[in-house]
Structure 1
Amino acid sequence: MTKQYEFTHRRKNLLNGEWVLVSPHRNNRPWSGATETQSQLDLPSYDEKCPLCAGNTRANGESNPDYAYTHVFKNDFGALTETLPEDASVDNDDLFQADLATGEARVICFSPDHSKTLAEMAVNEINHVVDTWQQQYQELSQRYRCVHLFENKGEMMGCSQPHPHGQVWAHNHYSTEIAREEQNQLAYFDKHKRALLDDYATREISEKSRVVFENEAWLVVVPYWAKWPFETLLLTKQNHADFNSLDERSKYLLSEAIHVLTSSYDNVFNCSFPYSMGWHNAPSDIETKEHWRLHAHFYPPLLRSATVKKHMVGYEMLAESQRDLTAETAAKILRDARGTHYKQNTQHLA
Structure 2
Amino acid sequence: MPVPTIVPVVKCWQEQYREIGNLPEVNHVLIFENRGKVVGVSNPHPHCQVYGTNFVFSIIQREVEAALDYRQQHKKCIFCTVLEAEKLDGRRLVYENETHIAFIPFFAQYAYEVVIMPRNHVQSISQLSESEVKDFADILHTVLCKYDNLFQIDFPYVMAFHQAPTDGNPHDEYHFHVEIHPPLRQPNLLKYLAGPEIGGGNIINPTTPEEKAQELREADTVHYKNKIKD
TM-score band, normalised by shorter chain: over 0.9
Contact map agreement 2:160 2:180 (CA 8 A) in 1: yes
Structure 2 alignment gaps of length 5 or more: none
Contact map agreement 1:223 1:233 (CA 8 A) in 2: yes
Contact map agreement 2:35 2:45 (CA 8 A) in 1: no
| Percent identity of paired positions between Structure 1 and Structure 2 | 31
How far is 1:216 from its partner?
Answer: 1.3
Contact map agreement 1:236 1:294 (CA 8 A) in 2: yes
Alignment match of 2:197 (pick from 316, 326, 335): 316
Q: Which residue of 2 is the match for residue 167 of structure 1? A: 49
State whether structure 2 residue 3 is matched by structure 1 residue 126: no
How far is 1:288 from its partner?
Answer: 3.3
State whether structure 2 residue 58 is matched by structure 1 residue 184: no
* Matches for 1:35-50 after TM superposition, within 5 Å: none
CA distance in 2, matches of 1:163, 1:262: 13
Q: Which residue of 1 is the match for residue 137 of structure 2? A: 255
Contact map agreement 1:126 1:255 (CA 8 A) in 2: yes
Q: TM-score, normalised by structure 1?
A: 0.63
Deviant stretches of 4+, over 2 Å: 285-290
User: 1:109-140 CA distances to partner (integer Å, 9 max, x unpaired)?
Assistant: xxxxxxxxxxxx00011111101110100101
How far is 1:204 from its partner?
Answer: 0.6
Alignment match of 1:338 (pick from 202, 220, 225): 220
- 1:149 aligns to what SS in structure 2? strand
* Matches for 1:144-159 after TM superposition, within 5 Å: 144-159=26-41
More helix as a share of residues: 2
How far is 1:286 from its partner?
Answer: 5.1
Contact map agreement 2:32 2:159 (CA 8 A) in 1: yes
CA distance in 1, matches of 2:28, 2:134: 25
State whether structure 2 residue 177 is matched by structure 1 residue 295: yes
Instruction: Give the alignment's Cα RMSD to 1 decimal.
Output: 1.3
State whether structure 2 residue 16 is matched by structure 1 residue 136: yes
Structure 1 alignment gaps of length 5 or more: 1-120
- 1:252 aligns to what SS in structure 2? helix
CA distance in 1, matches of 2:168, 2:102: 27
How far is 1:304 from its partner?
Answer: 1.7
* Matches for 1:1-350 after TM superposition, within 5 Å: 121-143=1-23, 144-285=26-167, 287-305=169-187, 307-319=188-200, 320-346=202-228
Amino acid at match of 2:9: V
Q: Which has the higher contact order (CA 8 A, sep 6+)?
A: 2
C-alpha change, 1:163 and 1:321, in structure 2 (3 Å) is: closer
- 1:235 aligns to what SS in structure 2? strand
Amino acid at match of 2:11: D
Specify the structure having the higher radius of gyration (Cα).
1
- 1:191 aligns to what SS in structure 2? helix
Contact map agreement 1:138 1:243 (CA 8 A) in 2: no
CA distance in 2, matches of 1:173, 1:325: 35
Amino acid at match of 2:175: R
